[in-house]
Amino acid sequence: MKKTTKTGTDIEEVKERNKQSGLTYNEVKDKVLEAYIKKQMDSN
């Protein structure tokens, strides 16, 4: 049985599309922070 929201959105389809869409906001934020810290360490 398909899981859907009250408005009929297929929850599994949304999850699959999210997996294929690339990095999440938090993943991007973490990568930017890592790059910033690395740059700071390299410049000292």
Does 3 fall in a domain? Answer: no
Does 15 fall in a domain? Answer: yes
Strand partners, 4: 10
Does 29 fall in a domain? Answer: yes
Does 36 fall in a domain? Answer: yes
Looking at the chain, the whole-number percentage of residues with pLDDT higher than 90 is 84
Predicted confidence (pLDDT) at residue 44 exceeds the cutoff of 90: no
Does 6 fall in a domain? Answer: no
Domain that holds residue 16: 11-43
Q: How confident is the model at residue 32 (pLDDT cuts 50, 70, 90)?
A: very high
Does 4 fall in a domain? Answer: no
- Cα–Cα distance, 9 to 37 (Å, whole number): 41
| CA 16 centroid distance within chain | 13
- Cα–Cα distance, 39 to 44 (Å, whole number): 9
Per-residue burial over 13-32, b = 16 or more CB atoms within 10 Å of its CB, e = otherwise: eeeeeeeeeeeeeeeeeeee
**Look-up: residue for tokens 């398909």?**
2
Q: How many domains does the chain have?
A: 1
Does 2 fall in a domain? Answer: no
